[in-house]
Amino acid sequence: MSKLLSPVSLRGLTLRNRTVVAPMCQYSAIEGFANDWHFVHLGRFALGGFGLVIVEATGVVPEGRISYADLGLWKDEQIAPLARIVDFLHGQGAATGIQLAHAGRKASTPVSWHTPEDLASEERRRAVGYEHWQPVAPSAEAHDPANPEFQVPTELDKAGIQRVKDGFVEAAIRAEKAGFDTIEIHAAHGYLLNQFLSPLSNHRTDEYGGSRENRMRLVLEVTEAVRAVWPEDKPLLVRLSVSDNAPGGWTPEDSVALAIELKARGVDAIDCSSGGMAQGRIASTAAYQVPFAQTVKQGADIPTMAVGLLGDIEAAEAILQRDEADFIALARGALDDPNWAAHAARVLDQDYDLWPVQTQRVSGRDRVLGLRA
């Protein structure tokens, strides 16, 4: 069996393989509630054989959403629609995760396909769940002053920081009630926890700003608080922007230092992405972020997830064989091919076991066409 398709365990969770669907915002919720779009969107990846499917960035408080159309888990009523999705994914053999998030100063931004004309009437605004609010951040500085979509946020005071921590904890408790197998704390892509980490966005002078130790404080406090309420036998993940990809910003060396501290607090794997600050620039090419996963894996001695244009099956297998990462995560690649994991099994192992029984006639078709032995 290939390494990509081999089972792997984190704490008490065993994944059927090392393929992961990364969180992808769908901008299709109203008041934070999952609906049939989310059910079908996520369910198809379980049918396609992925080992772990992670639900999109889910706001831990209402003002923590990237947009008014994001999922949320700030109230108990939001549990049941997510539990329905979890139950279906489990029934198809996939493990389920949810990314808990706070957008910080990148909150209350538009949904790209809802034009001003679409939102001209109150009736239409209600139909799409339109809301607008004042974002919060470590410092009162807009993400990108040149872009009017980003507001100048309110600087978080101590009470506001406590609200953030409480939001993550309460959302984690609800995620457990919904039946999720793992949580991913979102500390990447220029959102709130990343904003505290980066010297490009954090200009505080209290214990949450200044030195790297201080800028790491909120991420570590959130992690400790979530780990305390998350079941001991369930793994905890953190997504990092390993580099801001910008001069004077957060670096891979900083991420290694943070990953060491996260591991000490019960984090089981790091999902290694990059960027998110307006100043950041990096050329996107196939597998361009794999070196970040390798750096964190080797430097912190912790399992890592590689993500970023990884749709080539043989290349994904080679990344794992070279021990550059422990998991392969797809986002846009999974949208393009929801059956990617099942196709990988066909290519690497001549195996059709990942196809649901209702779809295993694919095997006979491939035999007739000479695509399998």
Number of H helices, E strands in the chain: 13, 13
Q: Which helix (H) or strand (E) holds 240?
A: strand 236-241
Angle at alpha carbon of residue 210, lines to 209 and 213, rounded to 5° = 80
240 forms bridges with which residues in the sheet? 187, 272
CA distance 302 to 268: 7
Write the CA distances from 281 to 243, 249, 303, 362, integer angstroms. 10, 11, 26, 43
Q: In 10 A of CB 214, how many CB atoms? A: 16
Write the CA distances from 59 to 12, 68, 104, 363, integer angstroms. 26, 10, 10, 41
> Can you say whether the dihedral through the CA atoms of 145, 150, 151, 156 is positive or negative?
negative
Instruction: Identify whether the C-beta of residue 53 lies closer than 8 Å to the C-beta of residue 40.
Output: no
Interacting residues of 246 by C-beta distance below 8 A, sequence separation 6+: 200, 277, 279, 280, 281
Please pick, among 27, 130, 191, 208, the residue that the annotation labels catalytic: 191
Q: How far is CA 331 from the centre of its chain?
A: 10
306 forms bridges with which residues in the sheet? 272, 328
Per the annotation, the verdict on 191 as an active-site residue is yes
Write the CA distances from 86 to 52, 79, 222, 365, integer angstroms. 11, 10, 24, 31
14 forms bridges with which residues in the sheet? 9
CA distance 241 to 111: 23
Q: Using DSSP, state whether 54 is helix, strand or coil.
A: strand
Q: Using DSSP, state whether 155 is helix, strand or coil.
A: strand
Q: Which of 245, 161, 243, 275 is nearest to 207 (CA)?
A: 161
Which residues belong to the active site? 191
